[in-house]
Amino acid sequence: MSMPGSAWVILDVISNFLLVIVGIIGLLGLWIAKKDYKYRVERESIEKAVELSKFYADEILPGLEQLSLHIEGSKYLTEVSRLDHTQFYNFDREELCELLIAVDKNINTKNRIDEIYRLLGEALKKEWEDSEGGSGVKTIAIFKIGSLLNNLEYFAMNFTTNIADSNAVYASLHQTYLATIRSLYFIIAHHNEDPKDKFYTNIIKLYQIWSETDSKLKEEIERKKNEHNESIRTIGHQGKCLKT
């Protein structure tokens, strides 16, 4: 016995309605799964940032403190401080030469670079030790700087590849990080003679990101400060002095 046409229409409407419901449930499930995945990724990214913050404190800061002990007040740091750190971007030999020329147009960049390296060695000479009872000289200080740079590269790589959330640690670490990379600018730039085979690319990239963030925040603070001062001046012009 066949069903009347109206029954088929009703069944067709019901089946289409059920398909829509199933589709909505499927999309809702997909949306929930996507939100859950995003939440887990963000949580893991923050947890990784906290882990790296501990790595920074345990493995990097001690090296920074040792480096600071030797270069603080040194002629090497004086020379590096003459460079315009707002122009630190590419961290390569070409940029280094341009910054040296900006300080002194008549400079021989090769001689100046050699002189700065000599000053670095002079600042670090207390760390030099004789190996094998004096049969050779092992530059422990240079090794320690290399180790420090490798740790910084590992630290930075996790942020530049978005494995860790740099925003989670920016406020607490950016000042020492930026100051450190500026003090090491000469060493990094001198190593990067060939632009296509650069060393410490993650250190450089994180420096660029955090330096830009730092500049923008300073500009925003200055803007708000000026607006506040202007509003105070406006109120002062409109106000009246009350006699006592």
What are the φ/ψ torsions at residue 84 (nearest 5 degrees)? -80, 100
Cα dist from 149 to 90, 108, 143, 157, whole Å: 17, 28, 10, 12
> At a CB cut-off of 8 Å and minimum separation 6, what does 162 contact?
45
Distance separating alpha carbons of residues 22 and 14, to the nearest angstrom: 12
Q: Which of 56, 77, 74 is nearest to 151 (CA)?
A: 56
Q: Are 210 and 166 in contact (CB under 8 A)?
A: yes
pLDDT of amino acid 165: 94
Distance separating alpha carbons of residues 116 and 51, to the nearest angstrom: 36
pLDDT of amino acid 138: 41
Cα 223 off chain centre by: 24
pLDDT of amino acid 17: 72
> At a CB cut-off of 8 Å and minimum separation 6, what does 136 contact?
130
pLDDT of amino acid 162: 93
pLDDT of amino acid 242: 53
pLDDT of amino acid 2: 56
pLDDT of amino acid 113: 87
Q: Are 63 and 144 in contact (CB under 8 A)?
A: yes
Buried b (16+ CB within 10 A) or exposed e, 135-172: eeeebebeebbeebbebbbebbbbbbeeebbbebbbee
Distance separating alpha carbons of residues 202 and 52, to the nearest angstrom: 15
pLDDT digits (tens, 9 = 90+) for 49-73: 999 999 999 999 998 888 888 888 8
Cα dist from 226 to 114, 121, 212, 219, 223, whole Å: 45, 46, 21, 10, 5
Residues of the chain with pLDDT under 70: 1-5, 7-9, 31-33, 35-41, 126-142, 235-244
Distance separating alpha carbons of residues 183 and 178, to the nearest angstrom: 9
